[in-house]
Amino acid sequence: MHNDSCMPHDELIGSDEASVRLGIDRSTLTRWITAGKITPALQMPGPTGAFLFTRADVERLAADREQKAAFLGHMVRDAAKAGS
C-alpha cells in the first residue's frame, strides 16, 4: 500500500506511535487500515511488513476525532441540561 500524498520530507511513524496518538489499540488501527479509514504511507517488505504513516496524516485524523468527541460531549451536556 502506498499513499501518493507521502512526500520525501514527510516524517514517518510506525503503528505503535500512530496507535498511541490516536488513542486506539493496534488491532483497531489494523481494522481502520482494512476499512480505509487511514491509509499507510508505505508498508515495509515481507508478508508481515510494518505499516508506516505520515505524522501529518495521523495528526489530522487525531484532530478530527478530538473535534468530534468535543462536539458529542457538548451535545450530551446540552441534552442533559434540557432534560433537567
pLDDT digits (tens, 9 = 90+) for 51-73: 999 999 999 999 999 998 887 77
Q: Which residues contact 23 (CB under 8 A, 6 or more apart)?
A: 62, 65
State residue 35's pLDDT score: 97
Whole-prediction pTM: 0.73
pLDDT digits (tens, 9 = 90+) for 17-29: 999 999 999 999 9
Whole-number Å distance between alpha carbons of 24 and 63? 14
Cell 516524517 belongs to which residue? Answer: 11
Whole-number Å distance between alpha carbons of 63 and 44? 27
Indicate the pLDDT class of residue 5, thresholds 50, 70 and 90. low
State residue 33's pLDDT score: 96
Percent of the chain with pLDDT over 90: 65
Whole-number Å distance between alpha carbons of 37 and 53? 13
Indicate the pLDDT class of residue 40, thresholds 50, 70 and 90. very high
User: E strands, 1-84, where?
Assistant: 12-14, 42-43, 51-54
Q: What is the architecture of the domain spanning 12-83? A: Orthogonal Bundle (1.10)
